[in-house]
Amino acid sequence: MTSKQKSLFCKRYQRALGLRLSCKPEEVRTAPARARTLGETAVALQWGLVDLTRLHGRVFDAYLVQTRPSPDTLGTTLLPPANQFLLDVLGPIEADHRAAPIRAAKVRHLGAVLLRRTAALEGLQSKLRLEIKLRRSGEKKLLKGAQRYNELLQEARRLQSQSRRVAHQVLLAQEAERREISRDLHDEVVQILAGINVQLATLKEASAINSRSLRTRIGKTQRLVERSVRIVHRYARKLRPAMLDDLGLIPALRAFVRDLPGRSGLRIHLTASPKVESLDNARRTVLFRVAQEALTNVTRHAQAQHVRIRIQKQNDLVRLEVNDDGRSFSVERTLSSPSNKRLGLIGMRERMEMVGGTLAVVSTRGQGTRVTADMPFRGRSTELLS
C-alpha cells in the first residue's frame, strides 16, 4: 500500500464516520453499507485490525475536538454509533480472516493439482521427446531408404543403358555377320557351283559322241546345280541384298517385294522419294530391315490383301509407313509375350533407336496395322556396315 492510497483511505474513513455521527436519518440508513465498503477496501489494501482501530480512534478524537459535545451527548449520541460503525468496518476483515484457512486449503489443493498436472506434463514431455527421437530415427531411415532407392534406380538405369548398348552391339554383329555370309555365298559358293556347271556343260558336249544316257544324267545334274545357284542367290539376298549396297534402298526394296515369300494374292504398292537415297549407309540399312520385318509379319500373320509402303522426306525427318488391311493384334500383349513376333518388333525398335529414330505400331480392328518409323535425315548415327 502506498502513502497516497493510505491518505485517500483515511480521508474516506473520516468523511464516512462524520456522516454517520451527524444523526441524519438518511445517513443512519446508508451507514452500514458505507462501512462494509470501507472494510472491503481495507481488506484489499491489507489493513490490519489494529491499524483500523487506531485510525478509528484518531478520526473520532478529531471529530470530538471539532464538535466539542457535552458529556451527556458523548455517552448517548456519539459513542454507540461510532462503535457500531467500527464494527461494521471490521466485519469484512473478520470474514476475510475466517475465510483464510479455506483459501489456504484451496491453495494447497490447487498446488497438489498443479503438481499432478506438472508431473503429467513432464510425462507427456518425455513421451513427446521419445516420439520425436523415434520420428527423427524414422526420418533418417526413410532418408537412407530414399538414397538407397535412388542408387538402385540409377543402377537399374545404368543396366538398362548397358543392356541397350549390348543389344545394339548384337545387331551390329548380326549385320556384319550377314554381310560376311552374303559375300562368302556370292563370291565363293556361287563361283564354285558356276564352275561345276561349266565343267558339266563341257562333259555334256564331249559326251555327244558317246552314250545318250550320259548326256541325260549330266543334264539333270546341271539343272540341280542351277537350282542350287538360285537358292544360294535367294539366301544371299535375304541375308544382305547386294543391291542395297550397289543400287540403293529403293531398288533393293522393290527386289525384296518382288521375291517376297508367301505374297501370293497380296498386292503391294511401294512409293518412295528419291531423296532417301542420299541417306547414309546405316540409315538406309535400318529402313530396309524395318520394312523387311514389317512385310514378313504381314505375310505370316495378317492375312491381308493390300499393303502400302511409303517412304517420304518430311522437313528434317524421313518417314517409313507400312499399312496393311489385314487382321489386327494387341501390340502391348505381343510385346509382353515371349513369341518370335515380339522379338521382331523389339528388333525394329532397337534399330530405329540406334540412328536416333522412333518406331510406332498401331493396330486397329477392322483397319489393319500401321507401322511408322521416323528418323533424322542427317545427324550422328551408328555405322552398321564397315
In angstroms, the CA 216 to CA 109 distance is 133
Residue 323 has pLDDT above 90, yes or no: yes
Q: Are 236 and 242 in contact (CB under 8 A)?
A: yes
Highest mean pLDDT among 10-14, 110-114, 331-335, 366-370: 366-370
- Classify residue 172 as exposed, middle or buried by CB count within 10 Å of its CB (0-12, 13-18, 19+): middle
Residue 15 has pLDDT above 80, yes or no: yes
pLDDT value of position 369: 93
pLDDT value of position 288: 92
pLDDT value of position 171: 72
Out of 119, 149, 174, a domain closes at: 119
- Classify residue 232 as exposed, middle or buried by CB count within 10 Å of its CB (0-12, 13-18, 19+): middle
Residue 172 lies in a domain: no
Residue 227 lies in a domain: no
Residue 363 lies in a domain: yes
If one counts every other C-beta atom within 10 angstroms of the C-beta of residue 134, the result is: 10
Residue 157 lies in a domain: no
CATH of the domain at 252: 3.30.565.10
Q: Is the pTM of this model over 0.85?
A: no
Residue 280 has pLDDT above 80, yes or no: yes
Residue 72 lies in a domain: yes
Average pLDDT, the chain: 80
Rg (CA), the chain: 59
pLDDT tens string 146-164: 888 888 888 888 878 766 7
Residue 87 lies in a domain: yes
**At which residue does the C-alpha cell 507400312 appear?**
322
Residue 203 has pLDDT above 60, yes or no: yes
Q: What is the mean pLDDT of residues 342-354?
A: 82
CA 106, 107, 109, 110 torsion: positive or negative? positive
pLDDT value of position 173: 60
pLDDT band for position 339 (50/70/90)? Answer: low
Q: Are 229 and 193 in contact (CB under 8 A)?
A: yes
Out of 56, 88, 119, a domain closes at: 119
Higher pLDDT, 359 or 65: 359
Residue 272 has pLDDT above 80, yes or no: yes
Q: What is the mean pLDDT of residues 217-227?
A: 76
Residue 343 has pLDDT above 80, yes or no: no
Higher pLDDT, 48 or 383: 48
Q: Give whole-number Cα distances, 97 to 3, 33, 108, 227, 275, in Å.
A: 24, 20, 17, 135, 116
Count of domains observed in the chain: 2
pLDDT tens string 302-320: 888 999 999 999 888 999 9
- Classify residue 250 as exposed, middle or buried by CB count within 10 Å of its CB (0-12, 13-18, 19+): buried
Out of 93, 119, 145, a domain closes at: 119
pLDDT value of position 208: 60
- Classify residue 166 as exposed, middle or buried by CB count within 10 Å of its CB (0-12, 13-18, 19+): exposed
Cell, residue 37: 465498503
pLDDT band for position 325 (50/70/90)? Answer: very high
Residue 199 lies in a domain: no
Residue 214 lies in a domain: no
Q: What is the mean pLDDT of residues 78-99?
A: 79
pLDDT band for position 335 (50/70/90)? Answer: confident
In angstroms, the CA 350 to CA 385 distance is 16
Length, in residues, of the chain? 386
pLDDT band for position 107 (50/70/90)? Answer: low
Residue 120 has pLDDT above 60, yes or no: yes
pLDDT value of position 332: 81
Cα angle 221, 223, 224 (rounded to 5 degrees) comes to 65
pLDDT value of position 385: 39
pLDDT tens string 24-41: 766 667 778 888 888 788
Range of the domain at 92: 3-119
pLDDT tens string 355-379: 889 999 999 888 899 999 999 987 6
